[in-house]
Amino acid sequence: MKGDRLLDVRGMLCPMPIVKLSKAIRDAASGEVIEMLADDEGAWQDVPAWAKKTGNEYLGSERADSYSRHFVRKT
Protein backbone atom coordinates (compact mmCIF):
# COMPACT_ATOMS: atom_id res chain seq x y z
CA MET A 1 0.00 0.00 0.00
CA LYS A 2 1.15 3.53 -0.68
CA GLY A 3 -0.18 6.77 0.79
CA ASP A 4 -0.93 10.04 -0.94
CA ARG A 5 1.15 11.85 1.68
CA LEU A 6 4.18 10.54 3.56
CA LEU A 7 4.62 11.47 7.22
CA ASP A 8 7.96 10.40 8.73
CA VAL A 9 7.85 10.55 12.53
CA ARG A 10 10.72 8.14 13.17
CA GLY A 11 12.72 9.24 16.19
CA MET A 12 9.68 10.84 17.85
CA LEU A 13 8.08 9.44 20.99
CA CYS A 14 4.49 9.58 22.21
CA PRO A 15 2.57 11.83 21.90
CA MET A 16 4.38 13.49 18.98
CA PRO A 17 3.55 10.89 16.27
CA ILE A 18 -0.18 11.40 16.90
CA VAL A 19 0.23 15.18 17.12
CA LYS A 20 1.95 15.17 13.71
CA LEU A 21 -0.64 12.77 12.27
CA SER A 22 -3.44 15.07 13.45
CA LYS A 23 -1.84 18.02 11.65
CA ALA A 24 -1.26 15.98 8.48
CA ILE A 25 -4.92 14.88 8.44
CA ARG A 26 -6.10 18.48 8.92
CA ASP A 27 -3.99 19.55 5.92
CA ALA A 28 -5.12 16.61 3.73
CA ALA A 29 -8.09 16.59 1.37
CA SER A 30 -11.00 14.27 2.06
CA GLY A 31 -10.16 10.76 0.81
CA GLU A 32 -6.38 11.21 0.90
CA VAL A 33 -4.33 8.49 2.59
CA ILE A 34 -1.57 9.42 5.04
CA GLU A 35 1.30 6.92 5.24
CA MET A 36 3.04 7.40 8.58
CA LEU A 37 6.49 5.90 9.28
CA ALA A 38 7.12 5.42 13.00
CA ASP A 39 9.59 3.62 15.22
CA ASP A 40 7.67 4.24 18.46
CA GLU A 41 6.07 0.89 19.38
CA GLY A 42 3.11 2.75 20.88
CA ALA A 43 1.98 3.70 17.37
CA TRP A 44 0.64 0.15 16.90
CA GLN A 45 -2.12 0.90 19.41
CA ASP A 46 -2.27 4.68 19.15
CA VAL A 47 -2.96 5.04 15.42
CA PRO A 48 -6.02 2.74 15.24
CA ALA A 49 -7.44 4.21 18.47
CA TRP A 50 -6.88 7.78 17.23
CA ALA A 51 -8.50 7.04 13.86
CA LYS A 52 -11.56 5.54 15.54
CA LYS A 53 -11.85 8.47 17.95
CA THR A 54 -11.55 11.09 15.19
CA GLY A 55 -13.77 9.31 12.65
CA ASN A 56 -11.01 8.74 10.11
CA GLU A 57 -10.49 5.36 8.43
CA TYR A 58 -7.66 3.19 9.73
CA LEU A 59 -6.44 1.11 6.78
CA GLY A 60 -3.80 -0.98 8.56
CA SER A 61 -0.19 -1.19 9.64
CA GLU A 62 2.84 -3.23 8.64
CA ARG A 63 6.42 -3.76 9.77
CA ALA A 64 9.25 -2.42 7.63
CA ASP A 65 12.81 -3.06 8.85
CA SER A 66 13.26 -1.14 12.13
CA TYR A 67 10.04 0.87 11.88
CA SER A 68 6.35 0.47 11.09
CA ARG A 69 4.09 1.91 8.39
CA HIS A 70 0.57 3.04 9.29
CA PHE A 71 -2.16 4.07 6.86
CA VAL A 72 -5.09 6.37 7.61
CA ARG A 73 -7.64 7.79 5.14
CA LYS A 74 -9.18 11.18 5.88
CA THR A 75 -12.97 10.97 5.88
Catalytic positions are 14
Question: HEC string of 19-72?
Answer: HHHHHHHHHCCCCCEEEEEECCCCHHHHHHHHHHHHCCEEEEEEEECCEEEEEE
